[in-house]
């Protein structure tokens, strides 16, 4: 009897294994390499983390206070699908004033749950099964998986340190096929910190026009540019109609945990994305939207202060790393440096793992951002000066160790 | 005096943390060490940077807690020198930690520190209110310092971010 049950159970178990409930797409999706590092670092004490992809500032008090006020006043219901009209009007004015790319609050802006969701609905709105989307690597870890989840094929282009990780027209043209639908662009860039200037953008724009492609322009780090004025892709002549501009409050306004972003695009594209957004998300969180209104109305001074502070830390950190022999180009924006660690003879993963275990400094190995990131590590300088100084000391003793 | 952008940045950095080393400031501003030293010296000599000091929470030091009072003082200004003469007479007292000329209901705001309430009271009654130009004083004792010169005294500034994120 007992034996009978055992075999029955076993049979069920085997049977379950044969038919997975998971979709093929998801099964084949690799978990992010960052996750492994997180698990490794999370249990350790006394770690200085340069592995964080978010500001070290807490959201400005006036912004937090505005969210509290909205709760006190009882604004706890849904907003319009595309977001509070007041917020869309502020976004419209902000994009016009700060970047010279005005969008209509009525039908060209959607407030999203972080720039991540904006990216998701943008891809789902444009990708048919088998369509190709070009991802320029090293890149933010979500781009390629989101393309795949939308049913498309992510085609990668590798960039090189010699070119400051900028993609050339020729490199783009080499991977364009008849199925290419769009290019995902990120400037200032995570993980390299590279910012594309007007000339760079004009080059990419020419390719997009020549092959009739859309560009998803991830401009989440637009506020964090340190040497030159940031140029939005949509401000390049002829690009507004083929740009889906993705941005948000997370980085510039130090509001990562609020999960609030937005997407701007011509009406036809926006309305397509709105269909997905209204069914899949309904609307972005209401209290975060009230906070964002305050951020745009009265928080720009704080953004300026933060930008200054990042710029100083960037200069300090780039100088210090170069002194140590970990060469890096001067990143024009975001809060990352992407030094080469090839002089150590270690791979990115070896370097990052050993640095964590031996010196308790967490950095992210460059290869998690794509194979062209191999030989590099991503360090975020969104940490206090004391922590940056200490981490430089530790990295120094690590690389000087025989 | 008009400052260059680099000078302005030096002032901001040192105002926030006067102990930032010159080497670090040089790196932060893409300047050479010599240039940075020169600029700091210039700012010090021109009295733009007046003094370097630490913000101390005396309430934590047993036996040295002390008291601070803010005294609103009404005075009669004098022809020719206005408030400056009486201000000088007051700020020369070492008990006076700060002195401001104010708009509004009174003229001078005097910040006085002493070991005890008695000591401050004596200063007010013996020294301050007996000055010829002083018409009246209103003394407010500070009960607790939450924030001073932009610094919050009991700040929980733990890093709440997760260790590694994309």
Chain A hits for B24, CB-CB cut-off 8 Å, are 316, 385, 389
Q: What is the CATH number of the domain that holds A391?
A: 3.90.1150.10
Does the pLDDT value for residue A2 go beyond 60?
A: no
pLDDT at A12: 59
pLDDT digits (tens, 9 = 90+) for A332-388: 999 999 999 999 999 999 999 999 999 999 999 999 999 999 999 999 999 999 999
* B9–A308 C-beta distance less than 8 A: yes
In the structure encoding, which two tokens stand for residue A236, read together?
């390049």
Can you give the pLDDT at residue A189? 98
Structural domain count of chain A: 2
Pair of tokens at residue A172 = 């783009």
- CATH 3.30.70.920 range(s) for chain B read 60-144
In a domain, A16, yes or no: no
Say if residue A124 is in the same domain as residue A263.
yes
At residue B147, the pLDDT reads 92
A277 Cβ contact list (under 8 Å, min separation 6): A81, A82, A110, A112, A117, A121, A283
Contact A153, A165 (CB under 8 A): no
- Facing B166 at nearest CB: one of A41, A140, A320: A140
Q: What is the mean pLDDT of residues A230-237?
A: 98
In a shared domain, residues A143 and A211: yes
Q: Is residue A23 part of a domain?
A: no
Closest residue of chain A to B10, computed from CA coordinates:
A312
Which run of H or of E encompasses A141?
Answer: none
Chain A residues with CB under 8 Å of B20 CB are: 385
Do A210 and A68 share a structural domain? yes
pLDDT digits (tens, 9 = 90+) for B122-152: 999 999 999 999 999 999 999 999 999 888 9
> Do A113 and A165 sit in the same domain of this protein?
yes
The DSSP code sequence of B26-39 is HHHTT--HHHHHHH
Alpha-carbon distance of A347 to A354, in angstroms, equals: 11
Q: What is the pTM of this model?
A: 0.92
**Which CATH number is B60-144's, of 3.40.50.720, 3.30.70.920, 3.40.50.150, 3.20.20.80?**
3.30.70.920
> Based on the domain organization, do A216 and A290 belong to the same domain?
yes
pLDDT tens figures, A138-175:
999 999 999 999 999 999 999 999 999 999 999 999 99
Six-digit token string for A336:
């990352």
Q: Which of B9, B13, B165 sits opposite A52 (nearest CB)?
A: B165
Do the chains contact at B163 and A38, CB–CB below 8 Å?
Answer: yes
Residue A258 has pLDDT above 60, yes or no: yes
Pair A291, A190 in one domain: yes
Peptide bond into A54 cis (omega under 30): no
In a domain, A138, yes or no: yes
pLDDT band at A13 (very low <50, low <70, confident <90, very high): low
For residue range A172-184, list pLDDT tens digits in order. 999 999 999 999 9
**ipTM score of the complex?**
0.87
Q: Are residues A289 and A325 in the same domain?
A: no
Q: Does A362 touch chain B (CB under 8 A)?
A: yes
Instruction: Give CA angle at A373 (A369, A375), nearest 5°.
Output: 140
Nearest CA in chain B to A369: B166
Dist CA A170 CA A175 (whole Å):
9
pLDDT at A20: 84
Q: Is A304 on the interface with B (CB under 8 A)?
A: no
Going by C-alpha positions, the residue among A279, A387, A371, A381 that lies closest to residue A336 is: A381
With cut-offs at 50, 70 and 90, classify the pLDDT of residue A3. low
A51 has a chain B CB within 8 A of its CB: yes
Closest by alpha carbon to A200, among A213, A218, A188? Answer: A188
| Domain end (from A276, A298, A320) | A298
In terms of domains, do A165 and A81 share one?
Answer: yes
- Which residues of chain A neighbour B162 with C-beta distances below 8 Å? 38, 42, 52
CATH number, domain of A229, equals 3.40.640.10
**What is the structure's pLDDT at B8?**
97
Domain boundary among A253, A283, A298: A298
User: Residues A265-318: pLDDT tens digits?
Assistant: 999 999 999 999 999 999 999 999 999 999 999 999 999 999 999 999 999 999
Q: Which two tokens stand for residue B96?
A: 């006076």
Given the DSSP bridges, would you call strands A364-365 and A377-380 parallel, antiparallel or unpaired?
A: antiparallel
| Mean pLDDT value across residues A84-108 | 98
Task: Please state, rounded to an integer, the average pLDDT across all residues of chain B.
Answer: 94
Same domain membership, residue A249 and residue A126: yes
Give the percent of chain A with pLDDT over 70: 95
Looking at the DSSP assignment, which residues form a beta bridge with residue B134? B75
Q: Is B166 within 8 Å of A53 when comparing Cβ atoms?
A: yes
Inter-chain CB proximity A34 and B166 less than 8 Å: yes
Residues belonging to chain B with any Cβ–Cβ distance to chain A shorter than 8 Å:
9, 12-13, 17, 20, 24, 27-30, 159, 161-166
Question: Residue B134 phi/psi, 5° resolution?
Answer: -80, 125
- Are A153 and A228 contained in the same domain? yes
Would you put residue A250 in left (φ > 0), alpha (ψ -120 to 50) or beta?
Answer: alpha
Residue A195 has pLDDT above 60, yes or no: yes
Q: Which helix (H) or strand (E) holds A137?
A: strand A132-137
- pLDDT of A1: 47
User: Which of B18, B19, B164, B165 has the most A C-beta neighbours within 10 Å, making it the best mutation to test the interface with A?
Assistant: B164
End position of a domain, from candidates A298, A321, A351: A298
pLDDT band for A35, please (50, 70, 90 cuts).
confident
Measure CB to CB from residue B165 to each of A53, A308, A320 and give the nearest one.
Answer: A53
Q: Is the pLDDT reported for residue A116 higher than 50?
A: yes
Strand, helix or coil for residue A48: strand
| Topology of the domain comprising B5-45 | Arc Repressor Mutant, subunit A (1.10.10)
Q: Are residues A358 and A285 in the same domain?
A: no
What mean pLDDT is predicted for residues A193-222? Answer: 98
* Tally of CA atoms within 13 A in the half-sphere of B120 that contains its CB: 22
Domain assignment of residue A268, given as a range: 61-298
Contact (CB, 8 A) for A217 and A246:
yes
In B, minimum Cα distance to A308 occurs at B9
Q: Which residues of B touch A42 (CB under 8 A)?
A: 162-164
């Amino acid at each position: 009897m007992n034996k009978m049950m055992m075999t029955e159970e076993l049979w069920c178990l085997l049977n379950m294994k044969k038919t997975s409930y998971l979709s093929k797409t998801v099964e084949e999706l690799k978990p992010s390499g960052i996750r492994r590092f997180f698990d490794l670092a999370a249990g350790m004490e006394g770690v200085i983390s340069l592995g964080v992809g978010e500001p070290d500032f807490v959201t400005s008090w006036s912004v937090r206070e505005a969210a509290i006020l909205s709760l006190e006043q009882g604004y706890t219901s849904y907003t319009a699908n595309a977001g509070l009209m007041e917020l869309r009007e502020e976004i419209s004015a902000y994009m016009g004033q700060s970047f010279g790319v005005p969008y209509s609050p009525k039908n060209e802006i959607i407030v999203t749950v972080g720039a991540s969701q904006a990216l998701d609905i943008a891809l789902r709105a444009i990708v048919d099964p088998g369509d190709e989307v070009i991802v320029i690597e090293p890149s933010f870890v979500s781009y390629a998986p989101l393309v795949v989840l939308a049913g498309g094929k992510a085609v990668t282009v590798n960039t090189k340190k010699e070119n400051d990780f900028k993609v050339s027209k020729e490199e783009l043209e080499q991977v364009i096929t008849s199925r290419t639908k769009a290019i995902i662009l990120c400037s200032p860039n995570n993980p390299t910190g590279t910012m594309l200037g007007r000339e760079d953008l004009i080059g990419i724009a020419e390719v997009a026009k020549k092959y009739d492609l859309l560009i998803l322009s991830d401009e989440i780090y637009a506020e964090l540019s340190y040497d030159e004025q940031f140029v939005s892709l949509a401000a390049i002549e002829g690009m507004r109609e083929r740009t889906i501009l993705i941005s948000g409050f997370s980085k510039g306004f130090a509001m990562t945990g609020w999960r609030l972003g937005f997407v701007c695009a011509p009406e036809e594209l926006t309305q397509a994305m709105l269909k997905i957004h209204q069914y899949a998300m309904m609307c972005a969180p209401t209290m975060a939207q009230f906070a964002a209104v305050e951020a745009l109305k009265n928080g720009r001074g704080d953004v300026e202060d933060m930008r200054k502070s990042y710029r100083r830390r960037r200069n300090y950190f780039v100088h210090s790393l170069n002194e140590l022999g970990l060469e890096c180009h001067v990143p024009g924006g975001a809060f990352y440096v992407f030094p080469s660690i090839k002089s150590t003879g270690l791979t990115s993963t070896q370097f990052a793992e050993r640095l964590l275990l031996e010196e308790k400094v967490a950095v992210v190995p460059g290869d998690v951002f794509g194979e062209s990131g191999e030989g590099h590590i991503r360090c975020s300088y969104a940490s206090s000066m004391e922590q940056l100084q200490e981490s430089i000391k530790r990295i120094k003793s690590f690389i000087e160790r025989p | 005096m008009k400052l260059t952008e680099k000078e302005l940045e030096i002032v901001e950095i040192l105002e926030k943390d006067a102990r930032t080393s010159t080497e670090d400031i040089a790196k932060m501003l893409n300047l050479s060490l010599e240039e940075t030293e020169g600029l700091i010296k210039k700012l010090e000599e021109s009295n733009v940077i007046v003094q370097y000091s630490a913000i101390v929470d005396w309430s934590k030091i047993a036996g040295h807690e002390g008291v601070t009072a803010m005294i609103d003082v009404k005075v009669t200004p004098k022809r020719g020198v206005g408030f400056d003469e009486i201000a000088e007479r007051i700020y020369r007292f070492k008990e006076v930690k700060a002195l401001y000329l104010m708009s509004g209901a009174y003229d001078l705001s005097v910040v006085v520190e002493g070991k005890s309430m008695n000591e401050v009271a004596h200063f007010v009654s013996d020294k301050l209110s007996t000055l010829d130009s002083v018409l009246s004083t209103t003394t407010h004792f500070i009960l607790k310092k939450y924030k001073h010169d932009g610094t919050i005294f009991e700040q929980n500034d733990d890093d709440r971010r997760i260790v590694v994120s994309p």
